[in-house]
Structure 1
């Protein structure tokens, strides 16, 4: 399972309404394209930021200008590529601002960077192929 976190600048109620309008499910949990799972996670009552390094949290806070207390967690099954689906969710959730974090870089991705294919240290948003190619262990 691969994970992306999205931090829209709109309020939580508007985010929930947008997810409910465009995705299947509800009551805090949605699915998209059958193998993409979406939940809203809270810092106080959930697991948000539990596994984050301090420097990653500092990058997020600097990008947003504040410390978010909730975010949208997107889990993508390894059984699908998921790139197109994650990009569509980013377009939905970040259209009015905010940032996304993926498993492969330490960068707060804006929608403009995602849509333009910006590369940071040689990686694009959700660029698991390049990441895995760099970190593949050579076989003997």
Structure 2
């Protein structure tokens, strides 16, 4: 399972409206494009559980505050899911915000995702590149 945390500038109500439109009749978790499972994570729940202190500090530096909530999106290992994830993340970041993936501590913006920006040699959600580093 691979995951990302989206910290949209849009408020929760607006974010839920986007997810509800993309996943009619199913929410919390939302199933988008039949391969992406999405749900709300909150700071008083398990949002930062397992995060390294430095990763949280980089997120705060990128957006100016410690977010109280995020949308977690999971892609299960049996499907690639890269294109579906890119579409969904870019939709959720349409009004600003950032996303953090499992492969770097970088807070990715929509512009960086669109332009395939590299951070420490990886692009957004670059599970292949990350894997290749390990072998």
TM-score, structure 1 as length reference? 0.93
Aligned pairs for 1:62-73 within 5 A: 62-73=61-72
After TM superposition, what 4+ stretches of structure 1 lie above 6 angstroms from structure 2? none
Once the two structures are TM-superposed, the CA of residue 33 in structure 1 deviates from its matched residue by 2.1
CA RMSD of aligned residues (A): 0.9
Once the two structures are TM-superposed, the CA of residue 39 in structure 1 deviates from its matched residue by 0.3
- Distance, in Å, in 1 between the alignment partners of 2:88 and 2:33 is 11
Once the two structures are TM-superposed, the CA of residue 29 in structure 1 deviates from its matched residue by 1.4
* 1:41 lines up with 2:41 in the alignment: yes
Aligned pairs for 1:15-94 within 5 A: 15-24=15-24, 25-26=26-27, 28-44=28-44, 46-94=45-93
Once the two structures are TM-superposed, the CA of residue 49 in structure 1 deviates from its matched residue by 0.3
- Distance, in Å, in 2 between the alignment partners of 1:36 and 1:135 is 26
Equivalent residue, structure 2, for 1:133: 132
The CA deviation string for residues 43-62 of structure 1, in whole angstroms up to 9 with x for no partner, is: 11x21001100000001111
Equivalent residue, structure 2, for 1:12: 12
SS state at 1:59 partner: helix
- Distance, in Å, in 1 between the alignment partners of 2:78 and 2:89 is 20
SS state at 1:20 partner: helix
TM-score, structure 2 as length reference? 0.96
SS state at 2:71 partner: strand
- Distance, in Å, in 2 between the alignment partners of 1:15 and 1:110 is 17
Gaps of 5+ in 2: none
Count, aligned residues = 134
